[in-house]
Every structure is written in structure tokens, then in C-alpha cells.
Structure 1
């Protein structure tokens, strides 16, 4: 089966991250669209999703207009808060097919400011 470019890129980045990542850390997988952003913390050993946060969640929706970068900051802060409640501080960042630039970079920096270690 022939894979298209974006799927090959996702596999390439994810496999590189999984090879060098220690088994005691969880994987933070990020996904974004033109308007929304979401992230999950995944345990690759048990193959389950531990936490997730998205800009589509009810607690993220507000009446005021917010830029996409501000929305990324809100989602990252919400995910960091949920992770601290479950005592998860060490993760590795799987950016998928997205470059470490713009909203993805703001998301990662906000997580670091809120106590996540990667």
C-alpha cells in the first residue's frame, strides 16, 4: 500500500520520538486544524489515552473572540492542570506532521511554563 506524504511524515516523526524516548515517560500527541487544536497524553506501553484536551471542549468555549494562539495557550494550560492532578510531569512531545512553529510552539512553551518537563 502506498502512503501519501503526510502519513509518511507522521510515521517518521513519531517513530524517531518513540525510539529515543524512555519508557517511563508518556507521549504528548498534538493535532491541529485550521480553527482548533487538541492534544492527548498517551501511554504507549498500555496503549491507552490518559488525558486529552481540546479547543472544542465545553469549558474552552467562551463568548468572546479569541485568536488561535490564545486558544492554544488555553488548551495547553488546561492539559497541564489535568496532568498535574494525575501527577504526570514528564512527557515527550510528538509534534506529528506539524513544524515546531506558530501555534505548536506556543502550545509547547505554555506547557513548559506550567510545569511539564520534556
Structure 2
């Protein structure tokens, strides 16, 4: 029997998490995409702590105009700026079972444009 869409996504997510983990020197940039918003967290898996987070539902994006992809690019740039303020230059990218396409790709490229390395 074929996998449902959600089962397939969970299988991919578990496979990614086996090899991708965040440390204090190189935390994990985790991306969650819903139908209406996109969320990014920088996580230190050794300590089990979220170092910082940004989402398209934050107040600074409340009156943002444009497509969801354009807003995802801005979220990526904001994540990179906050990382630089916190002294983080390198991260491990975790796409969270989503395809590297569309909004997830836009967030990653926005973060790279702002100077984050992964």
C-alpha cells in the first residue's frame, strides 16, 4: 500500500534528522512550513534549546505585502541578521521533510544573501 502524503513527509523528516544535528558551534536551522506561514528556529541539539526563532506571523511581518515566497525570503534575511547578532555564522539546514523548493528554498536563499553559511 502506498504511503500517504503525511507519512511520506514524516519518513523523510526522520531520515534528515538522523544525519543533521545542531551543536553550539554549528546549530541547526529548522524550517516549518504551514499553508499560511513559515517558521524558522535555530536549535542547539546538545543542550536541547532553541537559540532564536523567527516566523512570518511576527509583528514585523504583520503588514508585509507580497507573495508568501517573498515573505519567506524576508524571514530568511531576518534569521541571518539575528544569528549574526548572537554570534552564529554557520548553521546546519534542516528542511523538515519539505522539498527544497518554493518557500523553503526562498528562506534558505534569503539567509545566504544576508551572510549565513550552510
Structure 1 residue 40 and structure 2 residue 41: aligned?
Answer: yes
Q: Following TM superposition, where does structure 1 have runs of at least 4 consecutive aligned residues deviating by more than 6 angstroms?
A: none
Secondary structure (helix, strand or coil) at the match of 2:106 reads: helix
Aligned residues: 113
TM-score, normalised relative to structure 2: 0.87
**What pairs up with 1:1-118 in 2 under 5 angstroms?**
4-18=7-21, 24-62=25-63, 65-118=65-118
Shift of 1:46: 0.5
User: What is the CA–CA distance in structure 2 between the aligned matches of 1:22 and 1:65, rounded to whole Å?
Assistant: 35
SS in 2 for 1:59: helix
**How much is the aligned-residue C-alpha RMSD, in angstroms?**
1.9
Could you tell me which runs of 5 or more consecutive residues in structure 2 were left unpaired when the two chains were aligned. Answer: 1-6
Paired with 2:103 and 2:113, the residues of 1 have a C-alpha distance of 15
